[in-house]
Amino acid sequence: MSLLEMKQITKEFPGVKALDGVTFDLSAGEFHSLVGENGAGKSTLMKTLSGVYPFGSYGGDIVVDGQVQQFKTVRDAENAGIAIIFQELSLVKELTVGENIFLGKEPARFGIINWAELYQKASKLLKDLHLAIDPRTPVGNLGIGQQQLVEIAKALSQKAKILVLDEPTAALTESEVETLFKILTDLKARGVGMIYISHKLDEVFAMSDRITVLRDGKTVGTSNASDLTKDKVISLMVGREVGDIFPKTAHEFGETVLEIKDLNAYDFDNPNKKLVKDVSFSVKKGEVVGIAGLMGAGRSELLMSIFGAWQGKSSGEVFVEGKKVEISSPADAIKNGIGFVTEDRKRFGLILEQTIMDNSTLAGLTQIVGNFLTNRAKETIAAKQVMSSLHVKANSPLTVAGTLSGGNQQKVVLGKWLLTNPKVLFLDEPTRGIDVGAKQEIYAEINKLAKTGLAIVMVSSELPEVLGLSDRILVLHEGKLTGEFTKTEATPEKVMVAATGESKVLV
Amino acid sequence: MSETVEKSGFKIETSSLRAYTMLGAMILIWLFFYWQTDGIFLTPRNLSNLMLQMSVTGILAVGMLMVILTGNIDLSIGSVLGLAGGVAAILLTNQGYGLLPSFAAAIAVAVVIGILHGFLTAYFNIPAFIVTLGGLLAWRGAIKGISQSETIPISDPTFKVIGQGNITPASGWVIAIIAIVFVLFLAYRHAQAQKTYGLGEANIGGEMLKTILPIGVIIGFIYVMNSSNGVPLPVLIFLVVALIGTFITNSTTFGRYLYAIGGNSDAARLSGIDTKVNILKVYALLGLLIGVAAIIFTARQGSAAPDAGVLKELDAIAACVIGGASLMGGRGTIFGACLGALIMASLDNGMSLLNVRDFMQELIKGSILVAAVGLDMIGKKS
C-alpha cells in the first residue's frame, strides 16, 4: 500500500486552472522527484498536500495510509506526518536551534517551558542526523546550509513520515549538498517517504527512485528514474506547442541602443556572493531580447543593477546609444531613456490605493507637468492616453488602481513607463498572474512597441512567451550567461538545457 | 475573465470620507456645547478664542501631516518648539538682539534640527520613531540647559503682538475680498483649463456655483471675527500656512511624491523618485513650521518656559489622525488635519466652559481619538 496517494487533484484560481487532475503517489522509504518548468504546478500541488490550500478549495482526494484526509490547516497536515521544507526557510533567526525545532510544541507544563528537556531532545535529534550543531546557537549565526538541516531536524521532531523538499539545495554549497544527501539517504532507510522538487537534474537523477513530470498543471508521466534520461525529462518538461497567441511579426532592427559590459551584482546580505557574473549583452532599436532562466538565475538582479535599483553592490559598464553612462539611481536610468516594468506589480509597480492617473504619471511626472507644479488637466490627458492606447478597462482615470483586475493593473504599469518616453524598456515577468486575454493584449503591445523602434529586454519564466516574442534569447544559469540563441535557433530543449546548466553552449 | 470595472464613476476617497464624517461630528460637538453652555460657546468672542487656541496646534499639524504622508512620524516637535522659542527669547531679552535676528535664529534652529532628523531617518535608516523619540528627550534637555531651567520673559511689545494682536476689522474685509477674488479666479482657471486641454467645454457657470460655499465661509468667518476684536494675528498666520500646505500637497510634484512614498516606497523609488531627499525635505519643512509655531507660542505666553510645548507632538498627531491620515502613510489631507486640530480645540474649549475637571477632559479626548479611528476601521470593513 502506498504511503501517500494524491488522486485527480484539481485546483483553480480565478481565470487559471493551476492543477488539472494530477495524480501522484509515494511509498514508504521512497525518494520521488517532482520536476517541471516554473509555473507547472509543483508548488501548488505541494500546497494542497500541506494544507496551505485547505480541504474543499481543491478537487480530488489526498489519501495517507489508506485514509482520505481533509486538512483544514497546515497543522492538520503536520499531525498526519507531512512536513514541508520550503525554499524560503521558515525559521526564526533570533531564536536558538532548539527553540526553533520545538517552536509551538515546546515541552512545557502549565505554560512553563522545560528548557532542560527541550535542549536534551534537540541534541538527540541533531545527533541522529549526525549534525554537529549546538542546539543553543541562534539560528541566525548558522550558514544557510546548516539552517536547512535544522529545518529537517524540525520536520523530524514532528515525526514526519512524508518529507517534502522544495529546491533545498538552491542556496547550498557542494559539501553542504553532500551532507544533506547523506542525511536524506539515512532517512530513506528509516522509511521516510520523500518528495523532492528541484530544477537540478543531476541531483534528481542521483537520488530518485521515481520521477514525475508536471506540465501546465497536468501529470505528463511517472517513471522509474532508471528508465529515464536527462534529455527525455527535459523534453517531457517543455514538450508543448508554442501556440498561435504569439503574433508572428518580423521586427526590423536599427542601431544598438543599449550595451552592457561585464555586469556583476552581489547579494545585499552576503556581499561575497555574486548573483550576476560578468554578463555582457546588447540590444538594438526595435529588437526584443528575451532573458530566460530558472528561479534565482539572477535575471531580475541583472535588470535591477542596470537600472540603478539594485540594493546590493554591482559593477559593470552601461552604454546608451554608444555613450557610456553612469546610472546610480532609477532617476538616472529614466533620464537615459530606460524604462522598467518591474515584476510583482503590487509590490514594486503600483500604489494600490491611488488612482490610475496618479500611478500612470508617477515615473514621467516631471516630463509631463514640469519640475515643480502638478497640472491635473495635463495629467488627465496623459492618463486617458494610457487608458485608450493600452485598452485599460476602467470608468475613469480616477478609478483606484487596487480595484482593477491583474491585467489592467499591468497595463497601467506599462503605461506609466511609456509616459517616460523610453528608448529601452525592461519587462520583468510582464504577464505573471494575468489571464490569457490580457496576456495576448500585452504580447500585441510588445510587438507594436518594437515596431515603433523601442528596444525591449524581457525576462520571463514562461518559456513559450520568451520563445514566441523574442528576436534573440539569452539564457542565465546561476548568474552566468550560458546560452544565446536567435529566434530561429532557439528550441525549448536548447533553452532548458542552457538554463539547467547541463552544458555550456555559449555561441 | 475577471475584469473589475467600477460600476459608478463617482467615488469619494476614503481619506476625504473620514474628513466629511469628522465635519459632521464637529458640527454635533459644537451644537452640543452651544446647548450646554446656553449659547456662550458660539458667541463671536468664544469662537475667536477657539481659533486662537487651535492656531499653534494647527500650524504644527500641517507640517506633521506632510511627514505622516511619507509613513514617518515626528515625536520631537514639542521639545523643538520649546527650544526654538527659548532661543528667540534668550537672544531678544538676554542678549539684546533685535526682533528679526531672534526670529531668524528660532526658525534656523528648528529647520536644522528637522534636517538632522530627516537625514538620520532617510540616510541612516534609523526608524523615525526612534530618531524623534531621541529628539524629544535631547532637545528638551537642550532648552533646559541654555535657559538654566528658568522662564525667560518677553518684554518687547512688538513680539507680543504676533501672539496677542488682532488685525483691524477694515483690514479683515480687505483680506476677505482678496480671498474671494482668489477663489473666483481659481474657479475660472479650472473651467478654462478644461477647455484648453480639450477635456470638455468651459463650464464657467457651474464652476462659479461651486464657489458659493467657500465664499460664504470666508464672509461668515470675517464677520464673526470682526464682531469680536478682528481676526487674531496667529489665526491669520495659521490660515496662510494651511493654504500653503494645501497647495504643496495638492499642486506640487513634491506633494505628489510625499503621497507616493507613503503609499508604496518601493514603487516610488523604482519610478525614479529620490525617496531619501524628499524625506529630508519634508522634515526640514516641518522644522520651518515648528519655528513659526514657536514664535507665536512664545509671543502668546509672553515668555519662554523650559517646559513650553510639552505634549504638543501628540496634539498634532491626533489632529492628523482624526482628520483621516493613516500612520502607515499615503493617506491624509491638510484640510482633514486642520479639522482635527479644530475638533481637539473645540473639546478643550467647550469642556473648559463647562468646568469639566481636568482628568475628565483627558479621558474624554483620549476616548474620542481612539473612537474616531475605530469607527473608520469598522466602516472600512463593511
CA nearest to B197 within chain A: A377
CB pair distance less than 8 Å for B330 and A371: no
Interval A245-287: pLDDT, tens = 676 667 788 899 999 999 999 988 778 888 999 999 999 999 9
Cβ-defined contact of B271 to A15 (cutoff 8 Å): no
The nearest alpha carbon in chain B to A397 belongs to: B9
In a domain, B296, yes or no: yes
B135 and B206 housed in the same domain: no
- Write the residue in A380, A395, A437 that is nearest to B6 by C-beta: A395
Listed residues B200, B231, B262: the one ending a domain: B231
Percent helix, strand and coil across chain A, each rounded to 5? 35, 25, 40
Residue A242 is predicted with a pLDDT of: 45
pLDDT in tens, A53-96: 999 889 899 999 988 989 998 888 888 899 888 766 678 888 99
Same-domain status, B52 and B150 = yes
Q: Tell me what pLDDT residue B9 has.
A: 34
DSSP state of A227: G
B225 shares a domain with B135: no
User: HEC string of A325-393?
Assistant: ECCCCHHHHHHCCEEEECCCHHHHHCCCCCEHHHHHCCCCHHHHHCCCECCHHHHHHHHHHHHHHCCCC
Q: Are residues B292 and B367 in the same domain?
A: yes
Lowest mean pLDDT, pick from A35-39, A47-51, A435-439, B376-380: B376-380
Q: Which residues of B touch A (CB under 8 A)?
A: 1-6, 8-9, 11, 14, 193-194, 196-199, 250-256, 259-260, 263-264, 266-274, 330-331
Considering only CB atoms, A365 lies closest to which of B5, B256, B330, namely B256
In a domain, B318, yes or no: yes
Band of pLDDT at residue B19, cut at 50, 70 and 90: low
Kindly report, residue by residue over B322-341, the tens digit of the pLDDT.
988 999 999 999 999 999 99
Higher pLDDT, A387 or B197: A387
Q: What pLDDT, on the 0 to 100 scale, is given for residue B359?
A: 94
pLDDT of the residue at A267: 86
- Tell me the pLDDT of chain B averaged across its residues: 90
Which is more confident, A2 or B137? B137
B202-231 average pLDDT score: 88
In the listed set B212, B231, B250, which residue is the last one of a domain according to the structure?
A: B231
The most confident of A145-149, A239-243, A465-469, B47-51, by mean pLDDT: B47-51
- CATH number for A4-238 (one of 3.40.50.11810, 3.40.50.1220, 3.40.1190.20, 3.40.50.300): it is 3.40.50.300
Distance from CA of A363 to the nearest CA of B (A): 4
User: Given this chain, do its domains A4-238 and A254-337+422-507 carry the same CATH topology?
Assistant: yes
Q: How many domains does chain B have?
A: 2
pLDDT of residue B73: 97
Q: What is the pLDDT of residue A295?
A: 75
- For position A158, what pLDDT does the model report? 81
pLDDT at B10 over 60: no
What's the pLDDT at B373?
A: 81
Cell of A266: 552581489
Residue B329's closest chain A neighbor by CA? Answer: A353
Q: Distance (Å, rounded) from C-alpha B135 to C-alpha B117?
A: 8
Own/partner contacts of A360-363, CB < 8 Å, gap of 24 or more, are A360/A386, A360/A397, A360/A412, A360/A415, A360/A416, A360/A419, A361/A416, A361/A419, A362/A416, A362/B256, A362/B260, A362/B267, A362/B268, A362/B271, A362/B273, A363/A334, A363/A339, A363/A416, A363/A417, A363/A419, A363/A420, A363/B271, A363/B272
pLDDT in tens, A173-219: 777 788 889 889 988 998 999 999 987 788 899 999 999 999 888 89
Q: Mean per-residue pLDDT for A372-379?
A: 90
Give the pLDDT band (50/70/90) at residue A502. Answer: low
Residue A97 has pLDDT above 70, yes or no: yes
Q: Can you point out the beta strands (E) in A108-255? A: 108-109, 112-113, 162-166, 193-197, 210-215, 218-224
- Cα distance between residue B348 and residue B361, in whole Å: 7
Kindly determine whether residue B271 and residue A416, on different chains, have CB atoms separated by under 8 Å: yes
Q: Is the CB of B260 less than 8 angstroms away from the CB of A351?
A: yes
A-B contacts at Cβ under 8 angstroms: 119
Asked if residue B93 is part of any domain, the answer here is yes
For the cut 80, the answer to whether the pLDDT of residue A296 exceeds it is no
What integer pLDDT is reported at residue B70 of this predicted model?
97
Between CA B286 and CA B24 the distance in angstroms is 29
Residue B40 predicted with pLDDT over 50: yes
- Name the residue of chain B whose CA is nearest to A394's CA: B5
User: Do B157 and B51 belong to one domain?
Assistant: yes
pLDDT band at B55 (very low <50, low <70, confident <90, very high): very high
Whether domain A254-337+422-507 has CATH 3.40.50.1820: no
* pLDDT given for residue B210 in this prediction: 84
Residues B217 and B312 in one domain: no
**Per-residue pLDDT, A153:** 86
Average pLDDT, chain A: 88
Of B187, B208, B231, the residue at which a domain comes to its end is B231
Enumerate long-range contacts of B36-44, CB under 8 Å, 24 or more apart.
B36/B350, B36/B354, B37/B350, B37/B353, B37/B354, B40/B353, B41/B349, B41/B350, B41/B353, B44/B224, B44/B225, B44/B227, B44/B228
Please indicate whether, in this complex, the C-beta atoms of A362 and B267 are within 8 angstroms of each other.
yes
- Residue A425 sits at φ, ψ, to 5 deg, of -120, 125
Note the pLDDT of residue B174. 95
B316 in the same domain as B183: no
Where do we find the cell 500656512?
B241
Give the pLDDT of residue A390: 93
Considering only residues B145 and A406, tell me which one the structure prediction assigns the higher pLDDT. B145
Q: Is B4 within 8 Å of A405 when comparing Cβ atoms?
A: yes
- Model-level pTM greater than 0.90? no
Q: For A444-478, how does the pLDDT look when each residue is reduced to its tens digit (9 = 90+)? A: 999 999 999 999 999 988 888 898 899 999 999 98
User: Which residue of chain A has the CA closest to B254?
Assistant: A372
- Looking at the fold, whether B149 and B282 belong to one and the same domain comes out as yes
- For residue range A115-124, what is the model confidence (pLDDT) as tens digits? 999 999 999 9
- Chain-chain contact of A377 with B196 (C-beta, under 8 angstroms): yes
Distance of alpha carbon B102 from alpha carbon B304, whole angstroms: 13
Give contacts of B197 with chain A, Cβ < 8 Å.
377-378, 380-381
Average pLDDT over residues A220-231: 89
Name which residue leads in pLDDT, A468 or A435.
Answer: A468
Share of chain A above pLDDT 90, in %: 50
pLDDT given at position A87: 66
Quote the pLDDT of residue A216. Answer: 83
pLDDT, tens digit, 9 for 90 and up, residues B256-268: 999 999 999 999 9
Residue A326: predicted pLDDT: 95
Domain borders along chain A are 4-238, 254-337+422-507, 343-421
> What is the predicted pLDDT for the residue at A248?
63
Residues B69 and B187 in one domain: no
Residues in contact with A221: Cβ distance below 8 Å, sequence separation at least 6, in sequence order: A212, A213, A236
* Residue A438 near residue A410 (C-beta atoms within 8 A): yes
Average the pLDDT over A223-252 and give the result.
75
Q: Which of B288, B257, B350 is nearest to B54 (CA)?
A: B350
What is the complex's ipTM, to 2 decimals?
Answer: 0.85
| CA A235/CA A331 separation, integer angstroms | 43
Q: Indicate whether B211 and B72 sit together in one domain.
A: no
What mean pLDDT do residues A164-175 have? 78
User: Which residue in B1, B250, B271 is closest to A363 by CB distance?
Assistant: B271
Predicted pLDDT of residue A432: 81
Domain that holds residue B155: 39-165+233-381
Cβ of B274 within 8 Å of Cβ of A354? The answer is no
Question: Is residue B150 in some structural domain?
Answer: yes
Closest residue, chain A, to B193 (C-alpha): A377
